[in-house]
Amino acid sequence: MSAEALTAIKLGIVSCEACGLLTKPADVKHPGHCPRCGEELALRKHNSIQRTWALIIAAAICYIPANLLPVMVTTTLMSAEEDTIMGGVVLLYMTGSWPLALIVLIASVVIPLAKLVALAYLLITVRRRSAWRRHDRVRLHRLVEFVGRWSMLDVFVDTFTVALIQLEPLMSVKPGMGVMFFAAVVVLTMIAAETFDPRLIWDSGNDREGQDD
C-alpha cells in the first residue's frame, strides 16, 4: 500500500488494547495506563515475536507426545485397548461415519499443525521485514485466531466418552496422558495467536521504529 500511510505509531499515538481509546502520551516509551479503562498501554504488544516463538516451540514439543501417547484406554472383560488420536479417527472411519472422521482429523491433526506452520511463517516474514502480500498475511492471522478453538474438539470427545462409559466391570474407558499434551498444544497455540501482534506485519520497511517490543 501507500508508503505515506499514517499510522498511530508514527504520530506517537497509542491505542488501548482493551477499549480502543487513542491517547498521545507525553513519553511514548512509558505510556502508562489507559485513562478510560485502566489497562496498561503499549505501542505494540511486549516482546511479541520472542513470546510467540516460545509458545509455538513449546506447542510443537507437546505435539509429539500428544500424537504418540494414547488419549483413551478402553478396558473390557477380555482386553485393554489404547487409542491415540489417529487411532480414534481410524476407528470412526471404520465404523462408517467418515464425515465425522474427517471433522476429527481436521480439528485434531490438521489444524494444530497448520497453526504452528502459519504462526512460524508470520514470525519469519515479520523478522525479515517482508512487504510481501501483507494483506493475505493479516488474513492468515485472523484465520488462525478464528479456527484455533475448534482443536479442543478431541478433548471434549474424550471427556464425554469417559464420563458415559463407566460400566464396571464390563467395560470402562479411562483417559490417557495424550489428552493432557493435546490440550496443552491447543492452549499454547491459542495464546500464541493472541500474543502475535498483527500490526508488526505493517510496521516493516520505511518505519523501523516499533519492530520489537
The three cell numbers of residue 142 are: 485472523
Of the candidates 167, 205, 206, 209, which one interacts with another protein according to CB under 8 A? 167
Interface with another protein (CB under 8 A), residue total 74
Which one, 55 or 157, has the nearer CB to another protein?
Answer: 157
Interface mask toward another protein for 97-136; x: CB under 8 A: x--x--xx-----------------------------xx-
For residues 129 and 194, what is the distance between their CA atoms, to the nearest angstrom?
A: 20
Interface mask toward another protein for 1-20; x: CB under 8 A: x---xxxxx-x-x-x--xxx
Contacts of 95 (CB under 8 A, 6+ apart): none
Instruction: Give the footprint of another protein on residues 30-59 (CB under 8 A).
Output: 32-39
Of the candidates 62, 122, 157, 192, which one interacts with another protein according to CB under 8 A? 157
Does residue 21 interact with another protein by CB under 8 A? yes
Q: Name the segment binding another protein (CB under 8 A); options: 22-30, 49-57, 59-67, 113-121.
A: 22-30
In the beta sheet, which residues pair with residue 76? 171
8 Å CB contact between 200 and 122: no
The least distance separating another protein from the CB of residue 50, rounded to whole angstroms, comes to: 20
DSSP 40-108: BP-SS-TTHHHHHHHHHHHHHHHHHHHHHS-SEEEEESS-EEEE-HHHHHHHHHHTT-HHHHHHHHIII
8 Å CB contact between 91 and 72: no
Q: Name the segment binding another protein (CB under 8 A); options: 60-68, 90-98, 109-117, 125-133.
A: 90-98
